[in-house]
Structure 1
Amino acid sequence: MKNYMQEMLKRKDLLFYLVKSGLKAEHRNSYLGYFWWLLDPLLNVLVYYFLVVVVLNRSHDDFSYPLFLVIGLVAWRWISTSINSSSKSILRYSSIINQVSLPKALFPLSFTLTQLFNFAFGLIIIALFLAIYGVVPTWHVAYLPLLIFIQLTVHMALGLVLGFITIFVRDIENLMTYITRVFFYASPIIWEGGRLIRSGKIPDWLVPLIEYNPVAIIVTAYRDILMFHETPNLIGLGILFLIAIMIGTFMLYYYSKNEHKIIKAL
């Protein structure tokens, strides 16, 4: 594994190239180009605001729901795009992999880093909404870099797992569509988790799944920091980080021992 890590460091230029090319490829043939990085989260907010407030007539008078919504959607967008893109990363570059000997773990990592840059534009939209609603971040914003780092580590670990499995089980790509959809609706992204739980509308056996699933912990942490000026769930985030480190370390070891299987499967 040590040799494998050294080889990855030697190929860091390739990692930078993959990230750069990934950013260029996302909106290469669109008229608005990179402006979509700002427009996409805005359109998501408009769609779900119309659905929840206008169509379903669910009012949220006790807090600024559009701000609540944009923070959840931007955080979720980074999660979903990282999972979907990294799971297909090795397959996408199969022609290069079959011709050149290089660490295959670079490809899931590159796609994860690409989505980090997209998330940075989402933070601009969040900052705009904070300004519109007059919410001034307090010292709790110091937790934000830590939260981003933890989430990035989680994405990298998941990317390594899904990137490897998808090579051998191509149905994973289709299955992830439904899994991510379940996590989207089971997490307080477009609805306030605390309110529904307190109202008793959710069965007791579902409450732990809603409060303690990884997506809920991450999304709620962003709102605690930026919107409610509270300390996030550091214990939950710490557990996620440790699990991600263990999984990521194991997967790098597994890649180093089984890369020949990737070549055969491709």
Structure 2
Amino acid sequence: MLLISSLRALYTLKSETKRTYLSFVWWIVAPAIDIAVLYFVFSILLGGFSKTTNFAAVLSIGIVIFSWFSNSVNNASNAIVGQKHIAINTPIKLISLVLSVSLSDLFKQLIVVFVGLLLLKLLTTFSINYFYLLCIIFVQFFFIFSFSLITALIIPLIPDFKLVLSVIVQVMMFSSGVFFSINNIPEQFKSLIILNPLANIIELSRFVIIDNYESPLAISSSISALVITTGILFIVAILFHQLVSDKVRKVL
């Protein structure tokens, strides 16, 4: 299944690059535009809005990570409905349809991360931090895939869940520290923000990438909590797939 999903993901990327003039360059340009606009708003128009050290790097990491989550969830959540002719006419597992879309967005993200690190000149010398960053990306992929699989299975059964999903993604954006460091929020709210797995992923990525970044998280505890949460979500997603996949095929 993994091989088939990977090949379908690569084929999707190849087709996508042929449909636009900018090709794969747009995968890098799109988040760069978001970063530039938001930096202009928060740091220049609202002069002094952010007291965060290395605000450009903090903002960039938050946007890149959340954009991956948002785009991948939106794409993968429609993988089953959007490919219902395949789901109906072939014995392919529904999980494979979602996995291929998630892998496609993962490949895009790896390119964005590589280019971003190159621009930050972090690839000039080897660092153990690159290994930690790959581990974070690996965990985030499973978190996104598990979340997307659950939503992709719910949408054919309850079409209106698309509206709920858009609200969930928006809440995740404002509660993940995308535009700010968790250091800058009142102490009594930090524990609430940290309950969000995406906030942990963003903070851990900042800790790994930005030199001397002071994170309010207990790093080892945060990593353990993130891995456990993602593992539980993955198991729930697999069990949910086994439980409702036949019913989903019937309603397509």
| TM-score interval for Structure 1 and Structure 2 normalised by the shorter chain | 0.7 to 0.9
The answer as to whether partners of 2:98 and 2:148 remain within 8 angstroms in 1 is yes
The answer as to whether partners of 1:109 and 1:159 remain within 8 angstroms in 2 is no
Aligned-residue identity in percent: 21
The aligned residue for residue 118 of structure 1 is: 108
The answer as to whether partners of 1:137 and 1:226 remain within 8 angstroms in 2 is no
The aligned residue for residue 7 of structure 2 is: 17
Q: State the SS of the aligned residue for 2:20.
A: coil
Distance 2:85 2:246 in 1: 15
- Match for 2:76 among 77, 86, 107? 86
TM-superposed deviation, 1:89 = 0.8
Deviates more, 1:72-81 or 1:51-60: 51-60
Distance 1:234 1:164 in 2: 34
- Match for 1:41 among 31, 34, 38? 31
The answer as to whether partners of 1:41 and 1:125 remain within 8 angstroms in 2 is no
- The one-letter code of the counterpart of 1:66 is A
The aligned residue for residue 248 of structure 2 is: 262
TM-superposed deviation, 1:73 = 1.0
- The one-letter code of the counterpart of 2:249 is I
Aligned pair count reads 249
1:142-182 Cα deviation digits (max 9, x unpaired): 31121111111111211221111111111222222222112
The aligned residue for residue 63 of structure 1 is: 53
The aligned residue for residue 164 of structure 1 is: 153
TM-superposed deviation, 1:117 = 0.8
Equivalent positions of 1:102-251 (< 5 A) are 102-131=92-121, 138-197=127-186, 204=188, 206-228=189-211, 233-251=219-237
Gaps of 5+ in 1: 1-7, 199-203
TM (normalized to structure 1)? 0.83
Q: State the SS of the aligned residue for 1:105.
A: helix
Q: State the SS of the aligned residue for 1:98.
A: helix
Change (3 A) 1:192 1:244: closer
Deviates more, 1:59-68 or 1:114-123: 59-68
- The one-letter code of the counterpart of 1:218 is I
- The one-letter code of the counterpart of 1:122 is V
Distance 1:58 1:185 in 2: 20
TM (normalized to structure 2)? 0.87
The answer as to whether partners of 2:5 and 2:103 remain within 8 angstroms in 1 is no
The answer as to whether partners of 1:154 and 1:240 remain within 8 angstroms in 2 is no
TM-superposed deviation, 1:137 = 7.3
The answer as to whether partners of 1:143 and 1:225 remain within 8 angstroms in 2 is yes
Deviates more, 1:112-121 or 1:122-131: 122-131
Distance 1:252 1:176 in 2: 19
The answer as to whether partners of 1:168 and 1:265 remain within 8 angstroms in 2 is yes
Distance 1:174 1:24 in 2: 31
1:42-95 Cα deviation digits (max 9, x unpaired): 111101011101221135566222222111111111111121111111111101
Gaps of 5+ in 2: none
- The one-letter code of the counterpart of 2:166 is T
Change (3 A) 1:72 1:125: farther
